[in-house]
Amino acid sequence: MGIAVYPGSFDPITYGHLDIIQRGRRVFDRLIVAVLHNASKQPLFTLEERMHLIREVTKEMPNVEVDSFDGLLVDYIRSIQADVILRGLRAISDFEYELQIASINREMNKEAETLFMMTNNKYSFLSSSIVKEFAKYGADVGELVPDVVKKALMAKYGHQQAGE
C-alpha cells in the first residue's frame, strides 16, 4: 500500500511508538521512521543515538527503515515520494493538535495524506517525557521501553543496572 512516514522526536522510543510501528508496517509496504532533528530543542539523546536505538528495536522488521529530517515534514515526504504520514493518537487531546498539523500539512502539500492510528490502550498514558522523568530518578522503566533503551537511559542518567 505504498510508503508511510512515521515522524517524531523519539527521545526515546517507547513501547507506544513500537506499537504504532508494528501495526503500521503491516499496512504499508515500507514504513520510514523519520526522526526529527530540531536544532531549537535539546533532546536527551543525540539524533544519532535516537536513530541507533530505533534501528536496534526494529532490526527484525524488514520493511521498516530509519531516517532523519529537519525542516518541514511536507518537504521531507515529498522528497522521498511517501504516500502517507502515519501518526499515533493516545487520547482525544492528541487528536485536536494532530488535526491542526494534518490540516496545515495538507494545505502545504495537497498530496499529504495523514493516517491516524490509535495507540493500544495499555500505552495510552505513555510518553517519552514520562519515561525520561522516571528514568532520571532511577525508576525501573523496563515495562515502558525495550531493554536496549532502558540501558541507554540508565547510562545517560548515571544509574547502574541491577547486577552491575
Which cell goes with 20?
Answer: 504504532
Residue ranges of domains in the chain, CATH in brackets: 3-121 (3.40.50.620)
What's the pLDDT score for residue 124? 87
What was the pLDDT predicted at 105? 86
Quote the pLDDT of residue 160. 66
Q: What is the pLDDT along the chain (164 residues), one digit of tens a residue?
A: 899 999 999 999 999 999 999 999 999 999 999 999 987 788 999 999 999 999 999 999 999 999 999 999 999 999 999 989 999 998 777 788 888 888 988 888 888 899 999 989 898 889 999 999 999 999 999 999 999 999 999 999 988 654 44
Instruction: Report the C-alpha gap between 139 and 19 in whole angstroms.
Output: 22
Distance CA 160, CA 164 (A): 6
Residue 26 is predicted with a pLDDT of: 97
140: Cβ–Cβ under 8 A, 6 or more apart, which residues? 150
Residues annotated as catalytic (active site), given as ranges: 17, 41, 90, 128
Q: What is the pLDDT of residue 164?
A: 47
Residue 40: Cβ within 10 Å count: 4
